């Protein structure tokens, strides 16, 4: 990891590039942190930058070039769409600014690696979302696992499934384009959380599918227009971790059933249920194996398993926490937490899953079974039929 000397004094000056849907929450939070000062907002759409600046009381707005030329800006918050993350982050580093980028770091390994090298050579910091995993929810779970509360972690299960972002996003096409889909859009929350807790991923295998080739915008002024689906809209990823644990993760924009933030990790001494890694807070609880030999196990059919809540420790804020951590790290010279290296490893994991899904590299299972017929609807367990 790169080493940094302490730099500057006082609040860290911030400029934004890209002020779309997610910028409101960043601006509200960063405006409430005394250690940072948002000085200017930029966007391809300068009118949007101007209206967001007015709404949030930011003193200046303009183009990307205006943000990068602003002498007070030390750290650029890159909230553009994934396809241009690397391009904008690279421009900011060339302008001598530290960068916080929304996830993913980029959409291919080569340009993301070049970005890390560029930042290292310039002695500048790169921080990559998500910062949700820095919130007290996931962090309290991480601490519990690291102090051995579930013994040695064995396997994790995660699920992120719902109908898809067109139910709330007025401009969802980019979320189904190359570099997005559920894997790249939502995968960073799950894989960043898993890597944070289980360590680096060693290998992955995946299966993906597209429910349809075209989808429809459901909200906003363009509702009713269709757009192409370029990547799998559902994907199942198996991962093995360097330290021996395994995980299975479903990421789907094709399921009417909403099940987001489902995360369980089973270890030798217990199973822990974690908060949604796309949230900063949430319940963490552990259930333990029965271990009192010879006594009544108390595990009767249908009985609720006993759960121990893990206390959530820390102050709950929201998006912008990672920027604040970076800002303080810039001043003190310590490492920041959501590093470019972590962002790159998560991207590498996701690209590898996508490659596995595209190539269909699976081990063949040689046994088979005849089709299992469905139970008829008039099957009545209470009827006398014999």
| CB nearer ligand NAD, residue 25 or residue 305 | 25
In angstroms, what is the minimal distance from the CB of 309 to ligand NAD?
28
In angstroms, what is the minimal distance from the CB of 132 to ligand NAD?
9
Cβ proximity of 226 and 233 under 8 Å: no
Span interacting with ligand NAD, options 17-25, 114-122, 356-364, 374-382, rule CB under 6 A: 17-25
The interface with ligand NAD within residues 80-99 (CB under 6 A) comprises 80-82, 84, 88
In angstroms, what is the minimal distance from the CB of 90 to ligand NAD?
12
Span interacting with ligand NAD, options 44-52, 214-222, 250-258, 349-357, rule CB under 6 A: 44-52
The three state secondary structure string of the chain is CCCCCCCCCCCEEEEEECCCCCHHHHHHHHHCCCCEEEEEEECCCHHHHHHHHHHHCCCEEECHHHHHHCCCCCEEEECCCHHHHHHHHHHHHHCCCEEEECCCCCCCHHHHHHHHHHHHHHCCCEEECCCHHHCHHHHHHHHHHHCCCCCCEEEEEEEEECCCHHHCCCCHHHHHCCCCHHHHHHHHHHHHHHHHHHCCEEEEEEEEECCCCEEECCCCCCCCCEEECCCCCEEEEEEEECCCCEEEEEEECCCCCCEEEEEEEEECCEEEECCCCCCCCCCCEEECCCCCCCCCCCCCCCCCCCCEECCCCCCCCCCCHHHHHHHHHHHHCCCCCCEHHHHHHHHHHHHHHHHHHHHCCCCCCCCCCCCCCCCCCCCCCCCCCC
Span interacting with ligand NAD, options 41-49, 207-215, 339-347, 375-383, rule CB under 6 A: 41-49
| CB nearer ligand NAD, residue 132 or residue 158 | 132
| CB nearer ligand NAD, residue 81 or residue 317 | 81
Q: How many residues of this chain interact with ligand NAD, rule: CB under 6 A? A: 21
| CB nearer ligand NAD, residue 18 or residue 320 | 18
The interface with ligand NAD within residues 61-80 (CB under 6 A) comprises 64, 79-80
The interface with ligand NAD within residues 107-136 (CB under 6 A) comprises none
Binding mask 190-219 for ligand NAD (x = CB under 6 A): ------------------------------
Q: Which residue is nearest to ligand NAD (CB)?
A: 20
In angstroms, what is the minimal distance from the CB of 276 to ligand NAD?
13
In angstroms, what is the minimal distance from the CB of 24 to ligand NAD?
9
Taken as a whole, the chain contains a residue count of 386
Binding mask 170-189 for ligand NAD (x = CB under 6 A): -x-------------x----
Q: Does 44 bind ligand NAD (CB under 6 A)?
A: yes
In angstroms, what is the minimal distance from the CB of 83 to ligand NAD?
8
Q: Does 55 bind ligand NAD (CB under 6 A)?
A: no
In angstroms, what is the minimal distance from the CB of 372 to ligand NAD?
40
Q: Does 335 bind ligand NAD (CB under 6 A)?
A: no
Residues contacting 196, CB < 8 A, separation 6+:
133, 138, 142, 342
List residues binding ligand NAD (CB under 6 A).
17-22, 43-45, 48, 64, 79-82, 84, 88, 102-103, 171, 185
């Amino acid at each position: 990891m790169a080493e940094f000397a302490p730099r500057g004094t006082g609040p860290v000056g911030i400029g934004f590039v890209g002020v779309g849907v997610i910028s409101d929450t960043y601006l509200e939070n960063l405006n409430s942190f005394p250690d940072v000062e948002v000085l200017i907002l930029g966007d391809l759409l300068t009118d949007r930058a101007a209206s967001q600046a007015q709404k949030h009381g930011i003193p200046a707005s303009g183009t990307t070039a205006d943000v990068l030329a602003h002498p007070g800006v030390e750290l650029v918050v890159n909230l553009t769409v994934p396809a241009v993350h690397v391009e904008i982050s690279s421009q900011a580093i060339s302008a001598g600014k530290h960068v916080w980028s929304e996830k993913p770091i980029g959409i291919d390994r080569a340009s993301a690696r070049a970005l890390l090298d560029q930042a290292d050579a310039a002695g500048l910091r790169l921080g990559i979302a998500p910062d949700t995993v820095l919130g007290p929810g996931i962090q309290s779970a991480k601490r519990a696992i690291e102090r051995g509360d579930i013994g040695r972690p064995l396997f994790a299960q995660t699920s992120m499934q719902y109908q898809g972002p067109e139910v709330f996003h007025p401009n969802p096409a980019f979320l189904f384009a190359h570099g997005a889909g559920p894997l790249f859009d939502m995968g960073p929350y799950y894989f960043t959380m898993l890597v944070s807790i289980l360590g680096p991923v060693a290998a992955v295998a995946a299966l993906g599918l597209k429910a349809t080739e075209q989808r429809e915008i459901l909200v906003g002024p363009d509702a009713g227009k269709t757009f192409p689906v370029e990547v799998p809209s559902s994907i199942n990823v198996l991962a093995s971790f360097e330290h021996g644990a395994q995980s299975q993760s479903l990421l789907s924009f094709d399921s009417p059933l909403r099940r987001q933030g489902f995360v369980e990790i089973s270890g030798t001494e217990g199973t822990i249920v974690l908060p949604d890694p796309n949230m900063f807070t949430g319940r963490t609880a552990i259930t333990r194996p029965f271990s009192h030999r010879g006594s009544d196990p108390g595990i009767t059919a249908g009985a609720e398993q006993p759960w121990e809540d893990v206390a959530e420790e820390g102050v709950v804020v929201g998006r912008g926490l990672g920027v604040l951590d970076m800002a303080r790290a810039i001043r003190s010279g310590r490492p920041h937490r959501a590093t470019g290296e972590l962002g790159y490893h998560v991207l590498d994991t996701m690209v590898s899953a996508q490659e596995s899904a595209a190539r269909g590299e699976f081990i063949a299972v040689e046994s088979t079974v005849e089709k299992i017929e469905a139970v008829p609807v008039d099957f009545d367990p209470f009827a006398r039929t014999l």
